[in-house]
Amino acid sequence: MGRTAVAGAEQKQNGTAHGLDTAKLIEIYRLMYLSRRTDDREIILKHQQKIFFQISTAGHEALQVAAALAMKPGYDWFYPYYRDRALCLALGQTVEDQFLQSVGAATDPSSGGRQMPSHWSSAALHIVSTSSSTATQCLQAVGCAEAGRYFAHHPEAAERGDGRDYRQFRDVGFHDDEVTLACIGEGSTSQGEFWEAISIASNLRLPMVFLIEDNGYAISVPVEVNTPGGNISRVVSGFPNFYFAEVDGTDPIASYEAMTQAVAWCRAGNGPAFVHGHVTRPYMHSFSDDDKLYRPKSEREAETLRDPISKFQMVLLREGILDADAITRLEREVDEEVRHAAERALRAPLPEATAAAILRHQYSEDFDPTRADLQTETAAQAGAPERTMADLINACLRDEMRRDARIVVFGEDVADCSHDEFLREGLVKGKGGVFKLTAGLQTEFGPDRSYNTALAEAAIVGRAVGMATRGVKPVGEIQFFDYIWPAMHQFRNEMSVMRWRSNGGFASPAVIRVPIGGYLTGGSIYHSQCGESLFTHTPGMRVVMPSNALDANGLLRTALRCDDPVLFLEHKRLYRETWGRAAYPGPEYMIPFGKAKRMREGKHLTIVTYGAVVPRALQAAQRAQRELGVETEILDLRTLNPYDWEAIAESVRKTSRVILAYEDTLSWGYGAEIAARIADELFHDLDAPVKRVAAMDTFVAYQPLLEDVILPQPGHLFQAIAELAKH
């Protein structure tokens, strides 16, 4: 089990007893006061309309400074949240750094003017880019801690598999005793991602500290409404392998003692730690809030008695560490430092407001997966047997795992067997995924590189973000696209935007594989869904959807070598179809993203499609030629973001008629955007209206008779061809 400690202001205020000498105690006060005065200056700037948002750390300073002093910047890893100004100052950020973000300056080192104030980031200090989303950082911190452990156990993974230099991998380092810190407000402990994170950390005994900053409120929601029993420490106390401490977070000495013991517990390999600090919130939640609307005056006045700045000032005076004149001099020096830093930040140049500058770092500049020269000839031997899409996906994973020791594969049921000894002793054959696409990976590469996760989709993707940020190449699997939605937060607000929001300081080039789609004869609502347009609508995310075995192999290899996050959609119906089989193309075969494949030549009309609709479009085209004499050209997009507009435009100019065919629902589906662009840019090349063929605007039913009507079939496509050919 774990260990529990309680520390508070009743302990003797003797700094040297806890390794804090006089100089360190003075430095603690300076950092606390520096943070508070930075908050105050930001509030003034907001009143003057020189900045556009403000949220303060006030009341949290003692706990945060203590946490920073107990850890090692640039050695340990830090996942703060938006209140953690004092933590970041104590780790090494400057006041000017923070003001540059406040004004949105081009030289803002955290984001280049892309993020709100208090969204911290520093690659050098290992402060990983912060978002506004609550609790998402906890799962990423889990992935970071896992990656650190992986590198420590597999130093060969630190060597570039392909010789390329990745920004987020430079100077990443790894240490046997490093610790990852995840900070979170008490209100955010209601989020499921928090509970998933502490569950995984407990199970894996990860070296990470969860720091709970409890100021009694989640905006206007008091802790007794937010947390069962009003105390998160009591709620989590049953988790094994944890060091637990509950502390007066307005007392920097007690907080330092709790944090040093927590960090020591983690460094020793005992497992994670959970430090619950009770702090105050003397200022409003943010500049946009008014706490007088929900907090009585008596409560606010009582809270001022616990203010960490005034409390610790009295300690310094009482213990004779500083006298009143010395404190005044220190505070005047800090006031001047803050004033000058703000003035310099206000004079800093603003970001370049051009499309090129705005889009910089949305995707990697180190590796362009759309380059035409990525395509290589297949190395398939004459007479080699044809293999299914499932076979060639598995073959690609094996090739790349042999080539690059950074690659780890994980998800629900992806391992051969969670009990590795059962495999080694020959007691079981092994599973390797519900569709068997990862079969044999654990057997060949071991349980560190292919393993099962808990049934928690957000955790799979969130951990992948943290791993990829750290330099591991994670290949996560969501078992069915229908259950991807708990992970949407991590896809949309974290993985896709990590590089852009940190202005290139961090990135998360993970690959997430997802079986998708219907045509299953009984798949029903929760095993037949599409929804790819929700991800192609996400800037920074590459989305791939092959229709055949050879393309799946070549595109997956490109995805695994890509430096961007990739959602790799694999149609379940196509896994073992006779149509689309191919010989193994060799371990270097790649297909560039954004290059459509002409599946059929034609001159009368064009069908633009992808996924499982491709073979159905081919059937319809063959019938149309046989019965109507219509020659239909078919383009398989293969990648949905980016997509091959040049190939579409060339074909439409040739045929003057076009059908957009896709499996998702007709309204607001993927084809609507391409249809709109064709109408906008190719209107004068058209001899007929742009037509769409897609699923009905409903979910897929269980009864096959209903499924056949709901999803686009060859007959639907033939009818559309016939109608369009009349124009």
Active site residues: 527
3-state secondary structure of 196: helix
- The Cα–Cα gap between 518 and 711 comes to 8
Ramachandran angles phi, psi of 217, nearest 5°: -140, 150
Q: CB within 8 A of 600, min separation 6: which ones? A: 618, 621, 632, 633, 634
Nearest-CA neighbor of 419 among 429, 434, 411? 429
- The Cα–Cα gap between 210 and 79 comes to 10
- The Cα–Cα gap between 246 and 9 comes to 12
Report strand pairing: 386-387 vs 582-583: antiparallel
In the DSSP assignment, the letter for residue 612 is T
Q: How far lies 273's CA from each of 68, 134, 198, in Å?
A: 15, 20, 9
Nearest-CA neighbor of 494 among 543, 563, 540? 540
The pair of three-digit structure tokens given for residue 547, joined into one six-digit string:
């229709």
Q: CB within 8 A of 602, min separation 6: which ones? A: 621, 630, 631, 632, 633, 634, 655
Element (H, E) at 423: helix 420-424
Amino acid (1-letter code) at residue 438: T
Q: Quick one: CA torsion of 63, 67, 70, 74, rounded to 10 degrees?
A: -150
Packing angle of the helix pair 22-47, 324-347 (nearest 10 deg): 40
Packing angle of the helix pair 308-318, 61-69 (nearest 10 deg): 70
Q: How far lies 294's CA from each of 220, 299, 342, 519, in Å?
A: 6, 10, 33, 54
The pair of three-digit structure tokens given for residue 53, joined into one six-digit string:
């948002």
Q: Is the backbone of residue 426 left (phi > 0), alpha (psi -120 to 50) or beta?
A: left
- The Cα–Cα gap between 102 and 350 comes to 12
Residue that has been written with the tokens 């906008």 in this structure:
680
Q: Could you give the maximum distance between any two Cα atoms of the chain, in Å? A: 99
Residue that has been written with the tokens 């709970």 in this structure:
212
